[in-house]
Amino acid sequence: MTAIYGLYPDPGSAERAFQSLRRPPDGVDVSDNDIVILSSEPFEEYEFGRRGHRTVMPWLAALGGLAGGLLGFLFVSYTQRAYPLPTGGMKIVSLWPDGVITYELIMLSAILTTLVTLLITARSPRRSRKLYDPQVSEGKILVGVVNPAEASSAGLERMLRDAGASSVVSCP
């Protein structure tokens, strides 16, 4: 993986770099998917912080909860029939107590679905090597491009520097 990136001391300059990468001048080729932004805190008030904002996570959590609840109820009611206990003439499958178990399993499934969705959509944990700079932890905001076209490198470096980068790094 090759990359060129700038480290920005504040979100304003990172936003400028992001906007210039989205509208590059002639001769500089940048695909939107190749732009990388990394920060040590969320910046949702800036456009760069809202990339990939759309998510169906709440719907998946709700669906996961419903599925878990349904399976939970089926599990409890099936096993109550499979292992019948003397109930003194009362119903073998009793809705009130089964409702408690079903409720807990709805919640547990929603929690686990959210966790799985987070891990998959945030691509964590990952095995492949990705662009990163430990200075992000110092509060710097990384804005860069992965696998840039060789002909665009000089133009990209200039653009990143003009936006206010405290340093511009090319790797490897």
Partner 1 sequence: MNKTPEQMNEDLLRPVFHTTWRFWATVGVLLSVIAAAGLALSYQVWNGIGVWGIDRPAFWAFDITNFVFWIGISHAGTLISAILRLANATWRRPVTRCAEVITLWALMIGGMFPIIHLGRPWLFFWLAPYPNERGIWPQFRSPLMWDFFAISTYITGSAIFLLYPIIPDWALVRDKSSGWRKKFYTVVSLGWRGTPKQWNRLEMAMKIMAVVIIPVAVSVHSIVSWDFAMAPVPMWHSTIFAPYFVCGAIFSGIAALIIAMAIIRKALGLEDYMKRLHFENLGKLLLVMSLLWFYFIVSERLTTWYGNEPSEMAVFWSTQIGSFSPLFWTMVCCNFLIPVPLLAIKKLRTITGTVIASSTIIVGMWLERFLIIVPSETHKYLPYAYGSYRPTWVEITITAGTFAAMMLLYVLFAKFVPIISIWELKLGERKPVVSPQLSVVASDLPALAEPTGLATDS
Q: Round to whole Å and give the CA distance between 49 and 155.
A: 24
SS3 93: coil
Q: Considering the complex, what minimum distance in angstroms separates the CB of residue 25 from partner 1?
A: 24
- Per 3-state DSSP, the chain is made up of helix, strand and coil in percentages (nearest 5) of 50, 10, 35
Centre a 10 Å sphere on the Cβ of residue 78 and count the other Cβ atoms it contains: 11
> Which CB atom, from 26 or from 124, has the smaller least distance to partner 1?
124
Q: Round to whole Å and give the CA distance between 84 and 31.
A: 64
- Residue owning tokens 């790797």: 171
Q: Could you give the maximum distance between any two Cα atoms of the chain, in Å? A: 85
> Which CB atom, from 122 or from 171, has the smaller least distance to partner 1?
122
Q: Considering the complex, what minimum distance in angstroms separates the CB of residue 41 from partner 1?
A: 5
Q: Considering the complex, what minimum distance in angstroms separates the CB of residue 85 from partner 1?
A: 7
* CB-CB contact of 68 with 106 (8 Å): yes
Site of interaction with partner 1 (CB under 8 A): 11, 36-46, 48-53, 55, 57-58, 61, 65, 75-76, 79-80, 82-83, 85, 94, 97-98, 100-101, 103-105, 107-108, 110-112, 114-115, 117-119, 121-126, 130-132, 134, 136-139
> Which CB atom, from 133 or from 158, has the smaller least distance to partner 1?
133
Q: CA dist 15 to 12, 80, 97, 153, Å?
A: 5, 60, 55, 20
> Which CB atom, from 85 or from 172, has the smaller least distance to partner 1?
85
Q: Considering the complex, what minimum distance in angstroms separates the CB of residue 150 from partner 1?
A: 25
Q: Considering the complex, what minimum distance in angstroms separates the CB of residue 159 from partner 1?
A: 20
Tell me 24's DSSP state. P
> Which CB atom, from 130 or from 151, has the smaller least distance to partner 1?
130
